[in-house]
Amino acid sequence: MRISAQLEARLRELGAELRPAASLAEHTSLGIGGTTDEILLRHYETVPKIMRLLAEEGVPHRFLGGGTNVLVDDGELSFVVLHMLTSALGMHVEGNAAYVDAAADLGATVTFCAKHDLGGMEGLIGVPGSVGGALRMNAGAYGTQIGPHVREVELYRAASGEIESVRDSEIRFDYRHTSFAPEDVMLRVKLELPSQPFQEILAGIKVCNEKRRSSQPLNQKSAGCIFKNPPGGSAGRMIDELGLKGHRVGDAMVSDRHANFFVNTGQARCVDMLKLIDLVRERVRGAYGIELENEVIVWRN
């Protein structure tokens, strides 16, 4: 979708920049996605005004975080994409509290906190993406989830059109799901973390990195796990048991390393990945009577 020169000028007045005809394939870890104008924001205080402006102009839009858990449609997209740029000053620590911009990289946040002798998030070290994406999805790995460490979230609340602060007691963090509305935009978070010596945290980080390296296709284009695990089960194990590793539709393939990772081996399109997702879901339904739910977020046109 293209933004008019007039709207571009108004966005610039609000401190935003335009990246015209951006390829979402270049901004997502799956390397899949069509083109659209991308609006780059530097200051989260401008979010309400920019959202209001886009609403007034009737411009459909989506907010892109790290782009590591999203499968974007092919071709010319029917919505523009907003993306918040990170700032080097986006994190600081006060006692056991870490204040972090949602646009910050999750791994960099874990390391930053570790350097301040704040632990508890080692399991999240290899989870790619932004802190905002991790908050929205309640990202987790190796027994750690971000939710329990959250004390307060500053967000753009779509329902009120304002920036609001929300205490942890008002947020529900479930398995890869939270009570935030899909249109809410994460802006900043206050985490509370246990004190722990840096060397100890580092040892934990190394263990998690090693586990991840030995079981996940880290050097291939993916969005992490495609499906949520069903209660008490493992999507990866079921797909593996069905002999679907290496199964492909075009260049979209079930990883031969971890069966819940679907990888783009070359020029995979969204339509290929969706066909592969449907095919695997059907096979699992047929064999186990379980309906797998997407973990990856799909942006259709």
Residue with Cβ nearer ligand EPU (109 or 260): 260
Residue with Cβ nearer ligand EPU (179 or 215): 215
Min dist. Cβ of residue 214 to ligand EPU (A): 10
Using Cβ positions, the residue closest to ligand EPU within the complex turns out to be 224
Q: Which ranges of 30-129 would DSSP assign to H, the alpha helix?
A: 47-56, 106-115
Residue with Cβ nearer ligand EPU (104 or 208): 208
Residue with Cβ nearer ligand EPU (35 or 68): 68
| Six-digit token string for 282 | 């059907």
CA distance 262 to 272: 11
Backbone angles phi, psi at 266, to 5 degrees: -175, -95
- Helix, strand, coil percentages for the chain (3-state, nearest 5): 30, 30, 40
Q: Is 165 helix (H, G, I), strand (E, B) or coil?
A: strand
| Six-digit token string for 230 | 């069903």
Min dist. Cβ of residue 297 to ligand EPU (A): 11
Backbone angles phi, psi at 246, to 5 degrees: 85, -10
Min dist. Cβ of residue 237 to ligand EPU (A): 4
Residue with Cβ nearer ligand EPU (34 or 236): 236
Min dist. Cβ of residue 67 to ligand EPU (A): 14
Give the number of other Cβ atoms within 10 Å of residue 266's Cβ.
Answer: 11
Q: Position 181: which residue type?
A: A
Residue with Cβ nearer ligand EPU (95 or 246): 246
CA distance 164 to 99: 16
In order of 62, 69, 107, the CA distances from 301 in angstroms are 11, 17, 31
190 in Cβ contact with 164 (< 8 Å): no
Min dist. Cβ of residue 274 to ligand EPU (A): 18
Min dist. Cβ of residue 236 to ligand EPU (A): 3
Residue with Cβ nearer ligand EPU (139 or 186): 139
Min dist. Cβ of residue 123 to ligand EPU (A): 7
CA distance 57 to 120: 44
Binding site for ligand EPU (CB under 6 A): 141-142, 215, 224-225, 228-229, 234, 236-237, 240, 258-260, 295
